[in-house]
């Protein structure tokens, strides 16, 4: 089994899948092979169907079920070189509206963060629509203060994109990056800072915890996460009248339908409709 898993990892890395995807796909295929027990090189469509059904029976989400199927498909095609038809449809994912924070709520969250670096991290994630993985991987050279842009490199799908940078944060950024190397992580971890060549980055969990603690202190009851900052960025741009196609580009969405979900959150026509009880 280890031989097949090593081949899978090699194929994923050759295609420049992100480390997170490599880890996730490897875990999915490892569990699949453990369930299969033997004949790892043989593609048994009926067994794959039963395996996916077992995930559904175990109450796994549509996203988890689909990721397992994607990983197994990748394994069969690229490691086992199977060229038959794997006629298994992906599970329907529930259509949920994104949780959006108001401008006032974001202001309250920022006011509760005493650590200046952490406050800047949350402010920058909101103001540029950055994912948590993007904010912690941001390097000093990725921000162009003269042109007020952020260059996001190797984002989701291994794509680069350009997003906006707020002029309001220029002074704070200049203070943070003073006397630092352009290749340094923008939000460097304090751990190992006293050791040469050990400059690291904050973890995703640290960033998420900062946000969660600030939201709790601010008394906000919404089930918001760090990613809600990105949802709020998109929604507030649309509220300001920004064309949805520009918002799509700033977010790095491949399909405009993904971006259009925010028009349902910010639809001004709906807000003008009064309940018949009023």
- Residues annotated as catalytic are 131, 156, 227, 230, 253, 262
Other Cβ atoms within 10 Å of 197 Cβ, number: 5
Distance between CA atoms of residues 168 and 145, nearest Å:
11
Sign of CA dihedral 54, 57, 58, 63: positive
The three-state (H, E, C) secondary structure of 57-90, written as one string: HCCCCHHHHHHHHHHHHHHHHHCCCCCCCCCCCC
Query: Residues 56, 91: contact at Cβ < 8 Å?
Result: yes
């Amino acid at each position: 089994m280890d031989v097949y898993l090593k081949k899978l990892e090699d194929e994923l890395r050759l295609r420049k899948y992100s480390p997170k995807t490599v880890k996730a796909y490897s875990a999915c295929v490892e569990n699949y092979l453990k369930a299969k027990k033997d004949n790892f090189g043989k593609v048994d469509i009926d067994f794959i169907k039963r395996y996916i059904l077992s995930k559904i029976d175990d109450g796994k989400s549509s996203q988890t079920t689909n990721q397992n199927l994607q990983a197994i498909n990748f394994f069969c095609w690229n490691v086992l070189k199977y060229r038959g038809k794997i006629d298994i449809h992906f599970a329907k994912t529930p259509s949920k509206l994104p949780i959006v924070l108001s401008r006032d709520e974001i202001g309250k969250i920022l006011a509760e963060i005493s650590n200046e670096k952490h406050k800047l991290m949350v402010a920058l994630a909101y103001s540029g629509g950055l994912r948590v993985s993007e904010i912690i991987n941001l390097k000093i050279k990725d921000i162009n203060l003269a042109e007020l842009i952020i260059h996001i490199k190797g984002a989701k799908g291994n794509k680069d994109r350009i997003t906006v940078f707020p002029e309001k944060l220029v002074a704070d950024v200049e203070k943070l990056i003073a006397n630092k190397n352009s290749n340094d992580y923008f939000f460097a971890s304090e751990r190992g800072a006293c050791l040469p060549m050990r400059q690291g980055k904050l973890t995703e969990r640290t960033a998420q915890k900062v946000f969660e603690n600030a939201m709790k202190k601010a008394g906000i009851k919404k089930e918001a996460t760090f990613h809600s900052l990105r949802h709020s960025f998109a929604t507030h741009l649309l509220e300001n009248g920004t064309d949805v196609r520009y918002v799509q580009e700033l977010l790095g969405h491949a399909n405009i339908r993904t971006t259009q979900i925010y028009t349902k959150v910010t639809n001004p026509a709906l807000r003008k409709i009064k309940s018949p009880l009023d």
